[in-house]
Structure 1
Amino acid sequence: MRGWFRLTVGLLAIVLGALWTVQGLGYVSGSVLTDRREWAVVGPVVVLIGLVTLWYGMRARRRRG
């Protein structure tokens, strides 16, 4: 069950990080995050954390068989 949780959290982090990045760069408007450079930096960091979490989740699922 832990593998599924990691996969879900990793995927959610990737989606949120990508959204925060495009909002921080000003491509998506209508939010307090729009055109804020800190979100253009935080977003890719969250995407990287999501990718690592996704990778660990895939490894856990593969080991359990």
Structure 2
Amino acid sequence: MMKPLLIVLGVLMTLAGAVWTFQGLGYLEGSPMTGEDTWAMIGPVVAGLGVALLIVAVRPRH
């Protein structure tokens, strides 16, 4: 039961981090976050943590 929850959380973190990165870099407009350097730095960190969570969630247990 915990594995699917971790996978969903990892996917959501990865997507949110990607959106925040693109907004911070100015590629996605229409938000107060557009063009803000802070979000250009926070986004990749959140996306990286999401990918790490996905790796931990899908790796086989021994």
User: TM-score if structure 1 supplies the norm length?
Assistant: 0.89
**1:57: how far off?**
1.1
Matched residues in 2 for 1:20 and 1:8: separation?
Answer: 18
**1:56: how far off?**
1.3
Matched AA of 1:51: V
User: TM-score if structure 2 supplies the norm length?
Assistant: 0.93
Matched residues in 2 for 1:5 and 1:57: separation?
Answer: 9
Gaps of 5+ in 2: none
Gaps of 5+ in 1: none
Q: 1:39 corresponds to which residue?
A: 39
Number of equivalences: 61
Which runs of at least 4 in structure 1 moved beyond 4 Å after TM superposition?
A: none
Structure with more of its chain in helix, by fraction: 1
